[in-house]
Copies of this chain bind each other. A is one copy, B any other.
Amino acid sequence: MVGKSIPRVDAYEKVTGRAKFTDDLILNRALVAKVLHSTIGNGIVTSIDTSEAEALPGVVKVVTFKDVPDHCYPTPGHPWSVEPAHQDIADRNILTGRIRYYGDDIAAVVAEDEVTASRALKLIKVEYEEYPVEIHPRKSMYGSNPPIHFDKKDNVLARSNFFIGNVDEGLEQSDTVVKRSYKTSIVQHCHIENPISFAYMEKGRIVVVTSTQIPHIVRRVIGQALGIPWGRVRVIKPYIGGGFGNKQDVLYEPLNAFLTTQVGGRPVKLEVSREETFCNTRTRHSIEYDLTAGVDKEGHLLAKDMKAYSSQGAYASHGHAIAANGLTAWRLQYACPNTRGEAYTIYTNTPTAGAMRAYGIPQAAFAIECLMDDVAAEIHTDPLEFRRKNLIQGYYEDAYLKPIAANTNGIFQCLEKGAEYIHWDEKRKEYADQTGSVRRGIGMSLFSYKTGVWPISLEIAGARLSMNQDGSVQLQIGATEIGQGADTVFSQMAAETLHMDVENVHIVTVQDTDVTPFDTGAYASRQSFVTGTAVKQCAEQLLQKILDYAKTLLPEQETRELSLDHGWIYAGEEQVLSLEALAQEAYYSLSNSSVLTAEVSTQVKKNTIATGCCFAEVEVDMKLGTIQILNIINVHDSGKLLNPQLAQMQVHGGMSMGMGYGLSEQLVLDEKTGRPLNGNLLDYKLMTALDTPDIKADFVELDDPMGPYGNKALGEPPAIPGAPAIRNAVLHATGVAFNEIPLAPQRLIEGFKKAGLI
């Protein structure tokens, strides 16, 4: 069953519109909540007057920052830690009077309907004392008065560094040293379904139904935010319309939970608009890099150095974990005796940055892979050849975090497939000496990506199976289907280990913290690896129970080994009992009934590295400032594919995101206020179907020994290599090295003008 391209188990529900999302589940007569956002980017609220809003008919309740519980809480979707030093930074309250970015949450209105709630917002009168706004991390790190948070006078949320060998000596010994700066922009996830939740109370507890990737973590954070025992919170996660990491953060659920307590437990709906999603949820961190690399005469890397400045925005959220992830990647994959890294994560008066698909690696890989091409150009070497020379073959492990290791390493095979598809050797030559304003080029980039978060953080997953009377099974997991196909591959896994058809595995789609096994949720490409391990263990446990029970039903003299295969118990080669008959006995036997179930809660202390690359062929119209992608391919080394067709679709989606990252997407902020200037789907240039060329996905399937079914990370990686590959193709086409994305027309034209090409 594993390895087959079966249709998604939720395909029919989703294409027929029958799948129930959060909004579909809201019962009539739910109240509607809306949030009042600040209209300054830094400062304090000096006065707030809600009396007119409260007087509006249909308004049920108005709360301000003065009314909320005084419990700072952390929001990132990380497993909690019992050690305070490893706990996430708690720097946010449900509402605030200390404004840290344009749009900060000051107050909320609960009304009988949406129109009334919107009108009431406008009736709230707020006065501010304003402070200067700082949106650039490299300036913010020199401090502000007052600091953005706590007593952090330098606004530096965190700094970390590492060194291997002696970088300074290595650079001295180098034949060629290349120094460059790179910068990535703020982008937003743009999942189809905006964040939405509704909350109500039952039996003295708070229930929140929400579009989240991490229901069990949302439960915990609501408990922390409200200062109530976590067991008094119940979180339900229906089908969700994408998340891409934005919903790996706890967003407005604590406010929603608080609001229902303020209206006697009545149901309250809190739907975040698209504009709020851009400004008031999370973004991908903009990170600025200063990179240096030294190579010897043969083109071998002798030393490399990274300095990263990550703009956190107004609140900690996932914080330094993003930039730190890039530091880790800087240590991996390329052989280099002397490597150093240093990263800063810095508060700024901008929308809060959080998790987004591939968690800091699209930024780091953009910088690293641009640098590799820039070094290759400097020493007049083919950039693919240069990489092949410097990449580690076979097994390697991280120097600092040893479980992070390439237990299989298919990067060379990936490069081969990619180069062949794009006709690397021919076209590098063909496009060498172009003239005119329209030119073509090919470029590539590669990456490595760890699969789970161990040993940086905890990995734990739960699974439960119980056998129905017809021999089919119910599979229940705490991990979440967020559009990536998790439910499908978990069903395949259970079917594989139980040797049954996947139609006989009924997976429970909704996660409900009251009844769902504990799992930290969908992030880090962890689920098929970590939860997959739990599913496999659980299925093995159930299989053993089935065979043990079969023994009690067979004659005592039966000594042949028992096995299960597609609905039949075999003794040796002989069919001796149908699984359905066995199940019926388990349910209904007068002598020996006991329904067969299995449950595991599995800590997974392993990790493994996936790799891959992108090859792109572009045509650049320098006068128009446009890039047309003629051909593009991602080749992934993600271990054994659980479902090749789903894998293809994952890669397609990630490539689209990578192309948008490289070509057009950027949340533009006003310099003076930090206000998003294009926080809507009209002005924010997301890739559409019409913008997207034919895209090609290919794979190198090595059987990874760490993965429960030979699999490793695939969910996030496809989004990584597109942007640097396109940038490198533009470099090939035009000779101009753009060091900042997106490669939008204005930037291109400026660059080509500067280079004297137009």
Which positions in A face B, CB cutoff 8 Å? 9-10, 12-13, 18-19, 24-25, 27-28, 79-82, 200-205, 220, 223, 229-232, 265, 455, 458, 460, 462, 466, 468-474, 476, 504, 506, 508-509, 514-515, 517-518, 581, 584-585, 587-590, 592-597, 599, 601-603
Contact B599 A231 (CB under 8 A): no
Question: Which residue of B460, B469, B585 contacts A231 across the interface (Cβ within 8 Å)?
Answer: B469
Question: Which residue of B27, B458, B474, B506 contacts A590 across the interface (Cβ within 8 Å)?
Answer: B458
- Cα A590 to Cα B401 in complex, Å, equals 14
- Cα A462 to Cα B587 in complex, Å, equals 11
Contact B599 A597 (CB under 8 A): yes
- Given A203-B13, A458-B588, A518-B587, A504:B601 Cβ within 8 A: no
Question: Which residue of B12, B28, B231, B594 contacts A203 across the interface (Cβ within 8 Å)?
Answer: B12
Question: Which residue of B205, B265, B469, B603 contacts A506 across the interface (Cβ within 8 Å)?
Answer: B205
Question: Which residue of B82, B201, B230 contacts A589 across the interface (Cβ within 8 Å)?
Answer: B82
Question: Which residue of B25, B202, B584 contacts A82 across the interface (Cβ within 8 Å)?
Answer: B584
Contact A518 B12 (CB under 8 A): no
- Cα A474 to Cα B234 in complex, Å, equals 11
A-B contact pairs, 27 of them (CB 8 A): A12-B203, A13-B203, A19-B202, A24-B27, A28-B28, A79-B587, A82-B584, A82-B585, A82-B589, A205-B506, A230-B469, A230-B470, A231-B468, A231-B470, A231-B471, A231-B506, A460-B593, A460-B595, A462-B595, A466-B517, A474-B514, A476-B515, A506-B514, A508-B515, A594-B603, A595-B601, A597-B599
- Cα A492 to Cα B514 in complex, Å, equals 18
Minimum CB–CB distance for A196 against chain B, Å:
16
9 more contacts with CB within 8 A, not counting A12-B203, A231-B471, are: A80-B584, A80-B588, A230-B469, A231-B504, A232-B470, A458-B593, A474-B514, A508-B515, A517-B597
Minimum CB–CB distance for A139 against chain B, Å:
38
Residues of B within 8 A of A588 (CB): 79-82, 458
Minimum CB–CB distance for A235 against chain B, Å:
12
Question: Which residue of B265, B466, B471, B517 contacts A595 across the interface (Cβ within 8 Å)?
Answer: B517
Copies in the complex: 2
Residues of B within 8 A of A593 (CB): 458, 460, 601, 603
Minimum CB–CB distance for A12 against chain B, Å:
7
- Cα A448 to Cα B606 in complex, Å, equals 62
Residues of B within 8 A of A81 (CB): 588, 590
Which 4 A-B residue pairings sit nearest by Cβ, starting from the closest?
A231-B472, A231-B468, A229-B470, A595-B601
From A203, A232, A581, residue with most partner B Cβ within 10 Å? A203
Which residue of B has the minimal Cβ distance to A229?
A: B470
Minimum CB–CB distance for A449 against chain B, Å:
22
Residues of B within 8 A of A223 (CB): 469-470
Contact A203 B10 (CB under 8 A): yes
Contact A80 B587 (CB under 8 A): yes
- Cα A508 to Cα B517 in complex, Å, equals 14
- Cα A160 to Cα B584 in complex, Å, equals 28
- Cα A220 to Cα B469 in complex, Å, equals 8
Question: Which residue of B27, B229, B462, B595 contacts A518 across the interface (Cβ within 8 Å)?
Answer: B595
- Given A202-B13, A458-B593, A585-B82, A514:B508 Cβ within 8 A: yes
Contact A460 B518 (CB under 8 A): no
Residues of B within 8 A of A220 (CB): 469
Residues of B within 8 A of A468 (CB): 229-231
Question: Which residue of B10, B80, B515 contacts A515 across the interface (Cβ within 8 Å)?
Answer: B515
Minimum CB–CB distance for A483 against chain B, Å:
16
Minimum CB–CB distance for A423 against chain B, Å:
44
Which residue of B has the minimal Cβ distance to A461?
A: B595
- Cα A466 to Cα B513 in complex, Å, equals 11
- Cα A25 to Cα B596 in complex, Å, equals 31
Contact B265 A18 (CB under 8 A): yes
Residues of B within 8 A of A202 (CB): 13, 18-19
Minimum CB–CB distance for A260 against chain B, Å:
11
- Cα A205 to Cα B220 in complex, Å, equals 33
Minimum CB–CB distance for A528 against chain B, Å:
20
